[in-house]
Amino acid sequence: MNLNHTVTRVASVVTLVLRVLLGAMFVFAAIKKMGDPQAFAFAIKGFQVPLLSEPAGEPVIVLLAFVMPWTELLAGLCLILGFWTRASSLVIGGLLVGFIGGLLGVIFRPEISASCSCFGDIDFICGPEVGWCHVVRNIALLGLTATTFVLGGGLFSIDGLVVAARESFHGPALGLGQGADALDSDD
């Protein structure tokens, strides 16, 4: 067994663990929010995001209360399975950036007292009131998500199975954006 193959297996195990942990966390958070969409809508409203404060913002809040948990659920499941790993990591990363922005908006406006509701009625690591702990937690999750984006699905994923099947049929990929098409060309 060569060193490159060993590194690939280790990276695949690391990404598997990260994918499952992150994906399960987002699936759990989504299910908790889906269980009480009205409470989640009130939590969104509590952040007092200026664009969502006007009367026209009410339908957007309701839309977010239903769409955001489904987005978390689908991206989390894809991450667990290693299906479209980089795309699902990008979606989760985008959600985390939005969450961090919302949290900072509450922190820097002391007149607002909001509950995170990130995991429904469960306080994961941090207390219920929005604070720096939530920002740090989400930055850490963003770092782990960036790792899954960089490493991809690895060997133990649907993405990895697709690549392995493609390589067994067409030969090894030549590089990013090059693969079977480059091997089949007459150039």
What are the tens digits of pLDDT across the range 156-180?
A: 888 888 887 887 777 665 554 444 4
pLDDT band at 155 (very low <50, low <70, confident <90, very high): confident
Residue-wise pLDDT for 99-123, tens only, equals: 999 899 889 988 887 777 777 667 7
75 half-sphere exposure, CB direction, 13 A CA radius: 25
Among the ranges given (4-13, 16-25, 134-143), the one the predictor scored with the smallest mean pLDDT: 4-13
What percent of the chain has a predicted confidence (pLDDT) above 70? 85
Nearest-angstrom CA–CA distance, 155 and 168: 14
Say which DSSP state 179 is in: S
Tell me the pLDDT of the chain averaged across its residues.
Answer: 83
Predicted confidence (pLDDT) at residue 3 exceeds the cutoff of 80: no
| More confident position, 12 or 168 | 12
pTM metric for this prediction: 0.80
